[in-house]
Amino acid sequence: MTTIVKERNRQKQENRNLQKRGLDETMNNVFEVKDLNLWYGNDQALYEVSMDVPENKVTAIIGPSGCGKSTYLKTLNRMVEMVPIVKTSGSIKYKGQEIFNGKYRVEDLRTKVGMVFQKPNPFPKSIYDNIAYGPRIHGIKKKAELDKIVEKSLRGAAIWDEVKDRLNENAFGLSGGQQQRICIARALAIEPDVILMDEPTSALDPISTAKVEDLVQELKKNYSIIIVTHNMQQAARISDKTAFFLNGEMVEFAETDDLFSNPKDKRTEDYITGRFG
């Protein structure tokens, strides 16, 4: 290697280190999770999970089937408690406040922490009513105000141009990829801070997947996004940080580039190199 190339590589590495340090220093956390355990009846599904989720970043959760990714995600907005046999221990702070504290209103949490599911699940209503549903529940009745929210949310989910002339048509008439962006718009309409996404592209074709991935990049300017994905390439493409889960444990959590290029734990290395999963 010539001296010039060596020097350029050294400078590149130094810049990367500086950027990474800068990122760590300026990073705020939306969630601080400490020693989280979760049981479905007698079966433990999460073991001592501790990880802080950064604000205005995309955090990916990867790991083999059944390792607790969805369970972890649904714990962050306490949706997991809809399963009556669930018990938890440990602490989850959302913006500094303990969400397991009896005084914390779960409705407030779910307004701030929206969710998008694996299969697009629009309501059997018009496109307009799908988006206006949440704001109406929150007491917004005026048509002009709802019109504004519907347009803003559909624009935010990069689907306004495709549906603006058919807002009164049933959302079921849209393609799967469009339905998923309607569901993202529906989540945006209640102005959350965080969007949880549980394998949002696994039911979509490659073109719709690319659109949703581009959208996630756009959304992180204003929202913190936590995305569960089976697809390691997707995690590498779109996330800033990645956590690897295995058998209910959070094995490793790092900057995405670091996790994929320099995993610290042998189990992470085995998984990302395809030795299991």
Contacts of 47 (CB under 8 A, 6+ apart): 37, 247, 248, 249
8 Å CB contact between 172 and 122: yes
Burial tier of 105 (Cβ tally within 10 Å: 0-12, 13-18, 19+): exposed
- With binding defined as CB under 6 A, does residue 123 bind ligand ATP? no
- Tell me the sheet residues that pair with 243: 61, 253
- With binding defined as CB under 6 A, does residue 70 bind ligand ATP? yes
- With binding defined as CB under 6 A, does residue 234 bind ligand ATP? no
- With binding defined as CB under 6 A, does residue 42 bind ligand ATP? no
- With binding defined as CB under 6 A, does residue 45 bind ligand ATP? yes
Distance between CA 192 and CA 107 in Å, rounded?
12
Q: Which stretch binds ligand ATP (CB under 6 A): 19-27, 59-67, 137-145, 258-266?
A: 59-67
- With binding defined as CB under 6 A, does residue 67 bind ligand ATP? yes
Q: 66 vs 176, which CB is nearer to ligand ATP?
A: 66
- With binding defined as CB under 6 A, does residue 68 bind ligand ATP? yes
Q: Which stretch binds ligand ATP (CB under 6 A): 69-77, 107-115, 170-178, 266-274?
A: 69-77
- With binding defined as CB under 6 A, does residue 211 bind ligand ATP? no
Pick from 34, 161, 48: nearest CA to 94: 34
Q: How many CB atoms lie within 10 A of CB 52?
A: 16
- With binding defined as CB under 6 A, does residue 66 bind ligand ATP? yes
* Torsion-angle region of 270 (φ positive above 0: left; ψ -120 to 50: alpha; else: beta): alpha
- With binding defined as CB under 6 A, does residue 83 bind ligand ATP? yes
Return residues touching ligand ATP (CB under 6 A): 40, 45, 63, 65-71, 83
